[in-house]
Structure 1
Amino acid sequence: MGATNSVPEQIADELSKAVREYGLAFVMVASYFGSGSVFIASQAGVMHGYTLLWAVVGAVLLGIMAQDMSARLGIHGEPLMVFVRRKLGRVPATGIAVFLSIGCIAWCLGLVAAVGAGVSFLTGGTIAWQPVAIVTTVLAIGVGLLDYQRIEQLMVVMMVSLMVLYLVVAGPSNPDLGAVALGFVPTSDALGALTIAAGLLGTTALWPNFFLESILVEEKGWADESDVSNARRDLTIGFTVGGITTVAILIVAAAILRPMGYTELESFITPGEALVEVLGTWAMVLFVAGVTVAAFNSIIPIMWTPAYIVPQAMDIDVDQGTRAFKLVFVAVTATGFASPLVSHLLDLQVVDMVILFPTYNGIFGLPLAALLLYWAVNDRETMGQHRNTTALNVVNAFLVLLAFILAVFAAQDFLEVLFGGGF
């Protein structure tokens, strides 16, 4: 008889099997759960208390809905940008791809700055964030060129670790449970928080994922109707982890920072400084370490997006092993080198960058991408009998409508903050 595996080996085998089967959503969640999510959730808690907890839940649900559309498009039809090129032609599709890629570059600038600021703090300020941002850009390029399976496994481990870290910090914060419960119900108070709500939506229902999911379902071997249920379970698991983590961060900010008199995040380490006073140094270290890891996690899948969609718009077939993909990925990710310069020219602190640049994408990138995705899953030629049902259209149309409404109401405030030296 052959030797049986030990219990730890059996557990490891089961975990490995689960990662292989349900890891794609963690790549999607890791891409949205960067430093922007951490600080937008913190800013929401500081400025508006528990008022926007409903927006976190709504953003998670809308993110799942959007990713479900994208997964079904990839399984039954074709990648989203391939659809756009086929319908509009190469020149308009390339214009759209380049416009959307500007948003990815903005994200990259903020994310490498966040990693730099996190490492600078954790080293006691002996290294400024600017040179660390340069090194981070180099590392992101190297990691992003690894094969997909390695990246997926890394994202699963990192996202579960982040959830645990933030729950550990949230536990001792002693929030008002009644106020927390009320925060899950939209009220008139939310009308004064639309810019932050747009940021929460833009960093959760992440438009690059609309393109990536439709491409990467092939990596999971999902190719027919029977695989749709697997994709939906995958999305539910991944987005639940991301949603719980976001709620924990918002609650910490509302329970600790707001009562201490904070009305905004004055610097990158403001949340950590307040945590030290109440919970001790350990909370500060966990918070900043979590922000740093989350920021680096996000760089890779976000910057994969231009590397896929720009060549696809130009009718170039790409995967992660092709020369065109690698060239575009390296080129757009290398814009991270300019992060210190952008911070200086716009007079923005790191915390401003990590909040504003995801918000930019929520206002300008999300409505366009959501509209394209909605068009694709309703196209008879592309989806055939698998196009959206009436019920799905009602639900999915809400994502498109909400994206446009928030964009219209939040755009002016966003521009004032961006060119006014930050929050």
Structure 2
Amino acid sequence: MATTHDSRSRLEGVSSLIKEYGLAFVMVASYFGSGSVFIASQAGVAHGYTLLWAVVGAALLGFMAQDMSARLGIHGTSLMVFVRRKLGRGGATTVALFLSIGCVAWTLGLVAAVGAAVQYLSGGAIAWQPVAVATTFVAIGVGLLDYDMVENVMIGMMLALMLVFVIVMLPSGADPVAVASGFVPSIENPAALTVAAGLLGTTALWPNFFLESILVKNKGWTDESDLPTMRKDLAVGYSVGGITTVAILIASAAILPALGYTALDTFMTPGEALVEVFGTWAMVLFIVGAAAAAFNSIIPIMWTPAYIIPQALGYEPTKESRPFKLIFAAGTGLGVFSPLISSALDLGVVDMVVLFPTYNGIFGLPLAAALLFWSVNDRETMGEYTNSLKLNAINATLVLLAIVLAVFSARDFVGMLFGGGL
């Protein structure tokens, strides 16, 4: 009886902890998709350990952005409601629709990634295209579930993903000195800058700027006393995401160049290389992890248009409302065109997985970051809780870095998008 009581007490304790925290895992699941897996692998194989600093920097910038968004939701309003108040219905709708294009682009790449994983694991017996279409419909079903249920799934998935990729990294034989040096900022060449932009674009994810300001109310965070809890939540969530990305980059840098790889020819190249070193188990873990990460990201990313488009039009949707469900289903449903986009633009799965997050890093992130920075400095919205000088100095880093990376990498991105890919 005592054992049963103790087990019940532990379960209640875990349930209470998840209820109090957990929002950051939704944010991290949003950014940690196949793009993060592949871009971290690409960073490792092409640039060794030299971009580890960019992973840490991106996680810190993501944390700062989410802190701004949460404070806006707690002390003011949600970000898109702020945009509508300042730019009017027409301006806000234009912003919402422009940003939503990026969400759909992400989904096109993410469903393709799930399809590619199944194709590889089936030995080519199942083509990626029909799997991508089926994944689209499964994502719609999961995304319409109760919020608490989805949050619990995201927590479990992110913890499992961290464990999977750390297990793959540990026996990689990485040089500790070289790894340590990778945390010192440096840029070898313009190509490294583009990869850094991709890392930033997949970590400081602009949809989360809108989502966090909306979803804080689900956690009951409503005043200044809730800020420590919110920041602990963010610290844990972004630590899990950062550790997972670091593990992928280190494993790729330690293993792939030694096997003669100088680039990732296919989405599954890292998994194929792992077979040569560790055996099939490592490849299966890597590929399943990449597929799970891709699917995980679709749902919160596509929640964003379902919230911000109605808000821009002057409505306040809930997850149970008809406008939310219709926009989420319709937007996510565009994922069925992933094979068509691949064929029309002559892009492989790898190209879509890398380029579509980079698109969001170049075009979506600077705009969303600037709007977020504006909102937390608006006294009419935030009252006495506007950014302090210290917070502005820190938060401005996100805006400036997003703009600089966008300016320097936009030309290469456009060339790759319409020139047949990477």
Aligned residue in 2 for 1:306: 305
Q: What CA distance in whole angstroms lies between the structure 2 residues aligned with 1:7 and 1:365?
A: 49
Aligned residue in 1 for 2:421: 422
CA apart distance, 1:3: 6.1
Q: What CA distance in whole angstroms lies between the structure 2 residues aligned with 1:285 and 1:20?
A: 33
**Paired AA for residue 242 in structure 2:** G
**Paired AA for residue 194 in structure 1:** L
CA apart distance, 1:13: 2.4
**Structure 1 position 103 matched with structure 2 position 102:** yes
Aligned residue in 2 for 1:148: 147
Aligned residue in 2 for 1:128: 127
Q: 1:36-55, aligned counterparts within 5 Å?
A: 36-55=35-54
Q: What CA distance in whole angstroms lies between the structure 2 residues aligned with 1:187 and 1:161?
A: 32
Q: 1:307-322, aligned counterparts within 5 Å?
A: 307-322=306-321
CA apart distance, 1:6: 4.1
Contact 1:50 1:251 (8 Å CA) reproduced: yes
Q: What CA distance in whole angstroms lies between the structure 2 residues aligned with 1:286 and 1:340?
A: 26
**Structure 1 position 78 matched with structure 2 position 51:** no
Q: Deviations over 1:42-88 (max 9, x none)?
A: 01011101010000000000000000000000000000000000111
**Structure 1 position 252 matched with structure 2 position 251:** yes
Aligned residue in 1 for 2:230: 231
**Structure 1 position 181 matched with structure 2 position 180:** yes
Structure 2 residue matching 1:348: 3-state secondary structure: coil
Q: TM-score, normalised by structure 2?
A: 0.98
Aligned residue in 1 for 2:400: 401
CA apart distance, 1:12: 2.5
Aligned residue in 2 for 1:325: 324
CA apart distance, 1:192: 4.4
Structure 2 residue matching 1:31: 3-state secondary structure: helix
Q: What RMSD, in angstroms, separates the aligned Cα atoms of the two structures?
A: 1.1
Contact 2:55 2:242 (8 Å CA) reproduced: yes
CA apart distance, 1:260: 1.7
Q: Deviations over 1:350-383 (max 9, x none)?
A: 1111111001000000000000000000000000
Contact 2:51 2:186 (8 Å CA) reproduced: no
CA apart distance, 1:5: 3.9
Q: 1:20-419, aligned counterparts within 5 Å?
A: 20-189=19-188, 192-419=191-418
Going from structure 1 to structure 2, the CA distance change for 1:352 and 1:83 (only over 3 Å counts) comes to same
Structure 1 residue matching 2:188: 3-state secondary structure: helix
Contact 2:187 2:193 (8 Å CA) reproduced: no
Q: What CA distance in whole angstroms lies between the structure 2 residues aligned with 1:18 and 1:256?
A: 38
Q: Which moved more, 1:370-379 or 1:3-12?
A: 3-12
Structure 2 residue matching 1:89: 3-state secondary structure: helix
Contact 1:52 1:190 (8 Å CA) reproduced: no
Aligned residue in 1 for 2:18: 19
Which ranges of structure 2 fall in alignment gaps of 5 or more residues? none
> Aligned pair count?
422
Contact 1:51 1:190 (8 Å CA) reproduced: no
**Paired AA for residue 372 in structure 1:** L
Q: What CA distance in whole angstroms lies between the structure 2 residues aligned with 1:3 and 1:188?
A: 59
**Paired AA for residue 392 in structure 2:** N
Going from structure 1 to structure 2, the CA distance change for 1:10 and 1:90 (only over 3 Å counts) comes to same
Structure 2 residue matching 1:241: 3-state secondary structure: helix
Q: What CA distance in whole angstroms lies between the structure 1 residues aligned with 2:37 and 2:187?
A: 25
Contact 1:36 1:358 (8 Å CA) reproduced: yes
Structure 2 residue matching 1:149: 3-state secondary structure: helix
Going from structure 1 to structure 2, the CA distance change for 1:12 and 1:122 (only over 3 Å counts) comes to farther
Q: Deviations over 1:314-349 (max 9, x none)?
A: 001101011111111011101100000011111111
Q: Deviations over 1:67-118 (max 9, x none)?
A: 0000000000000000000111000100000000000000000000001111
Which ranges of structure 1 fall in alignment gaps of 5 or more residues? none
Structure 1 residue matching 2:222: 3-state secondary structure: coil
**Paired AA for residue 228 in structure 1:** L
**Paired AA for residue 326 in structure 2:** L
CA apart distance, 1:261: 1.9
Q: What CA distance in whole angstroms lies between the structure 2 residues aligned with 1:214 and 1:56?
A: 24
Q: Deviations over 1:14-56 (max 9, x none)?
A: 2222211111000000000000000000010111010100000
Contact 1:272 1:283 (8 Å CA) reproduced: yes
Contact 1:198 1:363 (8 Å CA) reproduced: yes
Q: Deviations over 1:233-261 (max 9, x none)?
A: 00000000000000000001100012222
Structure 2 residue matching 1:82: 3-state secondary structure: helix
**Paired AA for residue 363 in structure 1:** I
